[in-house]
Amino acid sequence: MNGNSNAKDFLSIRDFSPSDIQYLLTLGRQVKAHPTAYGGALRRQTLAMIFEKPSLRTRVTFDVGIQQLGGFSLYLSPAEINLGKRESVYDVAKNLERMVQGIMIRTFSHEIVEQMAEYASIPVINGLTDYSHPCQAMADYLTIWEAKSHLEKLKVVFVGDGNNVARSLAFAGAQLGAHVWLATPPGYELDAASVRWARERGAETGGTCTVTNDPDEAASGADVIYTDIWASMGQESEAEKRKHIFLPYQVDATLFRRAKPDAIFLHCLPAHRGDEVTNDVIDSPRSLVFQQAENRLHAQKAIMLELMKGEFVKLPGLVELQELVHI
């Protein structure tokens, strides 16, 4: 990638090289530090935003982000499209590619996003699927980088369900040389194929991926402790069952004290306070959840800049960006 990529879409962290992910994070830091420098980069370009799942942060950050880059957004709810029912994915893709310059889609099935990317000739960005949440992971590691000044060898611990957020966190950690631990109840671990990929990529970057059912072991000496709600959208019927199973995995002050004294707490939000995290942790000075939420804006602006850049937009390469942000 490095500012001169042929990559068309942003569907999963694992689709890119470690230097690609480093480049996007570095560009995100540069955009955050100097927003006006990129104010006209996507002038008159339009991003169609397809929402099959509701969202606060995804909606606001993509909407505001494309406008801050000089472009426009178009919000499309299930009422307008109803993918696969009212209109096929193919027909939606072929319509939109003639009308807009990019598509962000937040939906349930990852297959829908893959099909949209296959059929549309314009960039497609995964705003969330049941399989992955790559934009969230980019914001996560941007936040960790800001707090810790580096990413390699950090112990990044996810406590909770082996879900889409955990998967993207593991993928990104493997790309960046971090030591990712996933502490889940038995039967709720991240799938073996995802763990295998993270370990294989980590072998190239110095990163690792450790799976455990012991939250105390995982939290011990952690640089970052991260959690998410126990029942995601579409799992509401399991909420009460999961609450009982996941209670020992609550991030409370006792668990957080096992981490390093300068450890930070992250949560992709929304949070169910009193369930996966207690108030004394999420509201503590070590909690960076709102900085993390803000960084969705900057990380996604970097992604849109790279994918939707016009032929007259010249973005700096990785080495140039590293010099600009002094890393």
Per residue in 28-72, pLDDT (tens digit) is: 999 999 999 999 999 999 999 999 998 999 999 999 999 999 999
Q: Is the pLDDT of residue 172 over 80?
A: yes
**Amino acid found at 290:** F
DSSP string, 120-154: -SS-EEEEE-SS--HHHHHHHHHHHHHHHS--TT-
pLDDT (mean) for 211-225? 98
How confident is the model over 9-15, as a mean pLDDT?
Answer: 98
Percent residues over pLDDT 70 in the chain: 95
Is 217's pLDDT higher than 80? yes
d(CA 71, CA 62): 11
Residue 247 has what pLDDT?
Answer: 97
The pLDDT value given to residue 205: 98
- pLDDT higher than threshold 80 for residue 233: no
| Packed helices 134-148 and 18-33: angle between N→C axes, nearest 10 degrees | 70
Residue 326 is predicted with a pLDDT of: 62
Residues 265-301: tens digit of each pLDDT: 999 999 999 999 999 999 999 999 999 999 999 999 9
pLDDT confidence bin for 86, thresholds 50/70/90: confident
Q: What residue ranges define each of the domains in the chain, with the CATH number in brackets?
A: 13-132+296-314 (3.40.50.1370), 136-291 (3.40.50.1370)
Please, which residues have CB within 8 angstroms of residue 264's CB and are 6 or more apart in sequence?
143, 144, 147, 148, 223, 224, 225, 286, 287, 288
What pLDDT is recorded for position 2?
60
Lowest mean pLDDT among 201-210, 240-249, 291-300, 304-313: 304-313
Measured CA to CA in angstroms, residue 136 lies from 11, 13, 126, 323 at distances of 12, 10, 10, 25
pLDDT, mean of residues 133-147: 98
Confidence (pLDDT) at 242: 94
Q: What's the confidence (pLDDT) of residue 176?
A: 98
Catalytically active residues, by annotation:
106, 133, 136, 228, 268, 296
Confidence tier at 327 by pLDDT (50, 70, 90): low
Q: Tell me which long-range contacts 231-239 makes (C-beta under 8 A, separation of at least 24).
A: 232/130, 232/161, 232/163, 232/164, 233/53, 233/54, 233/108, 234/108, 234/130
pLDDT, average across residues 205-214: 98
pLDDT above 80: residue 138: yes
Please say whether the beta carbons of 172 and 10 come within 8 A.
no
CB within 8 Å of 201: residues ≥ 6 apart? 14, 18, 171, 174, 175, 207
> Among 175, 174, 134, 92, which Cα is nearest to 303's?
134
Q: How far apart are CA 323 and CA 169, in angstroms?
A: 26
Q: For the chain, what is the radius of gyration of the CA atoms?
A: 19
CA distance 239 to 232: 9
In which band, very low, low, confident or very high, does the pLDDT at 235 lie, cut at 50, 70 and 90? Answer: confident
Element (H, E) at 50: strand 46-51
Mean pLDDT of the chain: 94
